[in-house]
Structure 1
Amino acid sequence: MNSETIILGNTLLDYSYALGIFLVLFFAFRIFQFFILRRLEKLAKKTKTDIDDTLIGIIKSLKPSFYYFLAFYLATYSIVVSDLFKKISEGILLFLIVYQVILVVQIFIDYVLEKSLKNKDGDSDSRTAINSISKIAKFILWVLGLLLILSNLGVNITSLVAGLGVGGIAIAFALQNILADLFSSFAIYFDKPFKVGDFIVIGTDKGVVEKIGIKTSRLKTLQGEELVISNQELTSARIQNFKKMQERRCSFTFGVTYETPSDKLRAIPSYITAIVGSLEGVRFDRAHFNKFDDSALTYEVIYFVDSGDYTLYMDVQQEINFEIVEKFEKEGIDMAYPTRTVYMKNVS
C-alpha cells in the first residue's frame, strides 16, 4: 500500500493532507482562544467594569468538542466525501453552532438580569422574579434554536409553528389565571408598589408584606395570621403603602362643655399650640374651635409626626392627651360627654 492507494475515492496522500489541515486548524483555534483569554484577563484586571468578565465567560464556553468538529468539517473539503456524509456533517455543525450561539446569548441574559438585580438592590423575592424571567427567556431561545435547526434540515416548520400557536392559545386559556398572576408578579417587581417589610392596606385587609411570590404574595396581618393574596388582585386593587410615608398627618377632635366661659374657649387653641409644639419630632399645624355639637363645643387639631412609624404616632398622641387633661384640670375646663338636660314645666 502506497500513497497512491485509493480508499473511498481518495488517496492516502489526500487523507494525510486532510489530517494535516485538521490538526493545524484545531491547534490554531485553541491557540487563538488561549491568547484571547489571556488578553481579556489582563484587561479585566485593569478595569472596574464586569463586562469583560462576561466576555471571558463567553470565550470559555467554546468547548474543545466544537473546535474538533469545526476543524474536521473544514478538513473534509480537501477530500471527496459522499453527499450523505456531507449532509450529516452539515447537520451536526449546524447543531453545534446553534447550541454555541444559544449559550452565548444565555450568558448575556444572565449578565443583564444580574446587573438589573444589583441596580435595584434586589432581595430574595426580586431574585425569584429575575430567575423566572431568565428561565422563560432561555426556554423561548431554545425553542427558536430548535425551529432553526429543523428548518435548515429541510423540515417544513410552517405546520409545526401553526400547531404550536394553536396549542399555545389553548394552554393560555386553560392557565389564564396562573399566567395573569405570573405577569402580575413581574409588574410588581418592575413597578415596585411595595416590597417585603412594607405595611400596606388593600381594601379592608392590612398587614406587613412577608413574601412576594410568582403566583401569590403573603401578608402578616395585625392579628398575626398569614393572608395570601393573588398577585393579579394586588395589581388591580388600590394599595396604600404606609412604609413609604415620610411623615404622618394626624388629626383629632375633643369637646368641652357649653358652660365653659368664652375667655377660656378663646384660650384653648393657644394651650393646644403650646402642648403640641413642645414635643420633639412633631410639627404643629393648627387648632380651631370647629363646631357646635349636641353635647359639646368641638375643637379640631392638626399636626404632623416626622415619621411613618405607627407606634411613634400613638406615643405622641398619648402624650398630647395626657397634657390636655392636665392643663384642663388646672384651668378648670370640663371635657364634654353626651348629656341630656330635661326641663319640666309645672302646669297647675
Structure 2
Amino acid sequence: MTLKIHAAMRVYVMAMLLLPGWVCPVAAQSAQKSIRLIEPEEDSRFNPGTNILLRAVIGTEQADLRQVEFLADGQLIGVVSNRPYSTTWSNVSAGTYQIMARAIPATGAALESDTVHVRVYNSRLTFGLDRIPLLEKIKFFDIPLWQYCASLLYIFLAFYVSKFLDFLTRVWLKRWATRTATRFDDLLLDLLNGPTKIIAFVIFLRIGLEVFSWPVLVRNFLGKSFTIIVALSLTYTVLKFIDLVMGYWKDRTKAEVDRAFDEQLFPIIRKSLKVFVVVVGVLVTLDNIGVNITAAIASLSIGGLAVGLAAQDTLANLFGAVAVFVDKPFRIGDYIELDGAKGNVESIGLRSTRLRHPDGHLITVPNKTMGNSTITNVTRRPRIKTELNLGLTYETPTEKVRQAVAILQEIYNAHKMTSELLLSFNRFADSSLNISVIHWWEGTDYKAYLAGMQEMNLAIKERFDAEGINFAFPSRTLYVKQDSEWRMSKAEHQETAVPPSN
C-alpha cells in the first residue's frame, strides 16, 4: 500500500514538472479575456452589394480594452471602440471571405476570434438552386453543383432570348414597319437585327458565368472580355446608325445640284462622325476595364496642340470647308464671284474649292479664303434684272419716238417671262435720243434668259425696221467754215513763193 502511494506521488510530481499547462494554465486562461464572432455565422451567403453586420462578444471585460477590429482576408474592414462591438461592412463585392474579430488591449497581446467563412454571390438570380441541399453538397472541382445548373439555365436563356428578339425584329416589328409610309423605320429594324441579339446573348451569358465562384484573375478577365464585346457591339451599332442616317438624308435630296453638292458633303461628315465615335468608344471601353485614360487624353491634347500649331493653314482650310458645307453659300454648278476670282463651282474639297472661269481656266481657291471673302452668288438670284439703253438718231421725229416707246412696251409685256417693265425717253445723249428700258426676267436659268432676250431683241429690230425707226450709233459731224480772206491769203502766199534752186 505504501509503495502504491509513493508511486502515485511520483507520477503526480512528474506530471506537474513535465506538463505545467494542463492544470495551472487552464485556470489562468479562464481568467483571461476571450473574443468570439457571433455575426455573421459560419458559411453565411449574401447577395452582391449587401451590407453585412459584424458583431463580436468579449468573454470577460477588462478596463484596458482599447478597440475591436474586424478583418476580411486579413484586410481591416471595421473598428469599434465601445460596446456593443458591432459595425456594418457596406457594399460587399462578390467573392468568398474569411472574417475574424481581433481585440486590441491597451497593454498585452491581441486576442483573435475563430475565422468565419462567408460567400457573396456574383448574381442575385440563382433561381433558388443554392437553397437545395443536394445541389450544394455535390461538388465538382470544389464548385457546388447548383452553380453549374444556374449557369446552364442562363446560357439557355441567352440563346432563347436572342432568338426571341430575332423573331421580334424580323417578323412582328417588320410587319408593323411595312404599314408606315417612311423607310426610316425599315432601315432601323435592319440595323438592330444583328447587334440586339449579340448584346442580349452576351449579357445573359455573363450573368450565367458570374454565378460561378471564379478566382479573382479569372473573374476579372471574364468581366473585361464581356465589357469589350458589348462595347464593340454598341460601337458597331452606332457606326451603322450613322450610315443609316446619312443614307436616309442623302435619299431625301431630290435636286440634282443639291445631290452633286451633298455627294462631297456626306463622305466628309460620315468619316468625321465615325472617327469621333470610334475614339470615344475606345476611351470609354478602356476606362471600363480599368485602364487610366487620363494620361491618354492628356497625350492626345498635347499632340493635338502640336499638330494644330504645325498645320494652321491646313486646319483653316478644313474649317473653311466645314463652314461652306454647313452654311451652303453656293452649290455645285453655281456661278459665283469673290475677291479676285469668278466662275462656276466645279468641286468643293477639304482644302480648296475649284471654279471654272468663263474663259475655261480652272481656278483653285483655298477654303480659308472662301470663308473670309464676300461671295456673290449670281446663280442664286431669284430673277435677272436687265437694264439697257436704246438710242434713236437725232433725225427721228417726235412722233416716231413715241411710236418706238409703244413698240417696246408691247413687245416686253407680251413675253411671259418679263415683269416690272419701266420705259422712258429719259435723255438727249451725245449722238442719240436715249430710251431707257428696265425689266425683270422671272427665272434663274441664264441660258433661257439669253434665248428670251434674243427673241425680244429680234422682234424689236423687225418692228423698228418696218416702221422706219433708225438706231443711232456713236457718230460726230464736223462743220468746216470757208473763210474768203483765208483763201486769198493762201493764194498770195503760193504766188510769191520762191522755187528751190537747182
TM-score interval for Structure 1 and Structure 2 normalised by the shorter chain: 0.7 to 0.9
CA 94–319 in structure 1, closer or farther in 2 if over 3 Å, else same: closer
| Structure 2 Cα separation of the partners of residues 90 and 116 of structure 1 | 39
- For residues 178-197 of structure 1, the aligned pairs below 5 Å read 178-197=314-333
1:324 paired with 2:460, answer yes
Give the drift of 1:71. 1.9
- For residues 158-307 of structure 1, the aligned pairs below 5 Å read 158-203=294-339, 205-283=341-419, 285-307=421-443
CA 205–85 in structure 1, closer or farther in 2 if over 3 Å, else same: same
* Structure 1 contact 255–298 (Cα < 8 Å) conserved: yes
Q: 2:121 matched to which residue of 1?
A: none
1:116 paired with 2:263, answer no
CA 21–178 in structure 1, closer or farther in 2 if over 3 Å, else same: farther
What is the TM-score when the length of structure 2 is the normalising length? 0.59
Q: 1:333 matched to which residue of 2?
A: 469
| Structure 2 Cα separation of the partners of residues 146 and 249 of structure 1 | 57
CA 188–84 in structure 1, closer or farther in 2 if over 3 Å, else same: same
Q: 1:101 matched to which residue of 2?
A: 234
Q: 1:286 is paired with a residue of what secondary structure?
A: strand
Structure number with higher helix proportion = 1
Structure number with higher strand proportion = 2
Give the drift of 1:165. 0.8
- For residues 71-110 of structure 1, the aligned pairs below 5 Å read 71=205, 74-79=208-213, 81-110=214-243
Give the drift of 1:285. 0.2
CA 266–64 in structure 1, closer or farther in 2 if over 3 Å, else same: closer
What is the TM-score when the length of structure 1 is the normalising length? 0.82
Give the drift of 1:169. 1.6
CA RMSD for the aligned pairs?
3.1
CA 149–271 in structure 1, closer or farther in 2 if over 3 Å, else same: closer
CA 239–45 in structure 1, closer or farther in 2 if over 3 Å, else same: farther
| Structure 1 Cα separation of the partners of residues 206 and 365 of structure 2 | 58
Instruction: Give the counterpart of 1:31 among 160, 172, 175.
Output: 160
| Structure 2 Cα separation of the partners of residues 107 and 258 of structure 1 | 76
Percent pairwise identity:
27
Give the drift of 1:246. 4.4
Give the drift of 1:168. 0.7
Q: 1:342 matched to which residue of 2?
A: 478
| Structure 2 Cα separation of the partners of residues 5 and 265 of structure 1 | 118
Structure of higher RCO (CA pairs closer than 8 Å, 6+ residues apart): 1
| Structure 2 Cα separation of the partners of residues 162 and 169 of structure 1 | 11
Name whichever of 166-175 and 60-69 sits farther off: 60-69
* Structure 1 contact 246–308 (Cα < 8 Å) conserved: yes
Letter of the aligned partner of 1:328 in structure 2? F
* Structure 2 contact 169–193 (Cα < 8 Å) conserved: no
Q: 2:150 is paired with a residue of what secondary structure?
A: helix
| Structure 2 Cα separation of the partners of residues 29 and 36 of structure 1 | 11
| Structure 2 Cα separation of the partners of residues 148 and 106 of structure 1 | 16
Letter of the aligned partner of 1:45 in structure 2? R
1:60 paired with 2:194, answer yes
Give the drift of 1:66. 8.1
Structure 2, unaligned runs of 5 or more = 1-136, 486-502
- The size of the alignment, in residue pairs, is 340
| Structure 2 Cα separation of the partners of residues 125 and 294 of structure 1 | 50
CA 132–23 in structure 1, closer or farther in 2 if over 3 Å, else same: farther
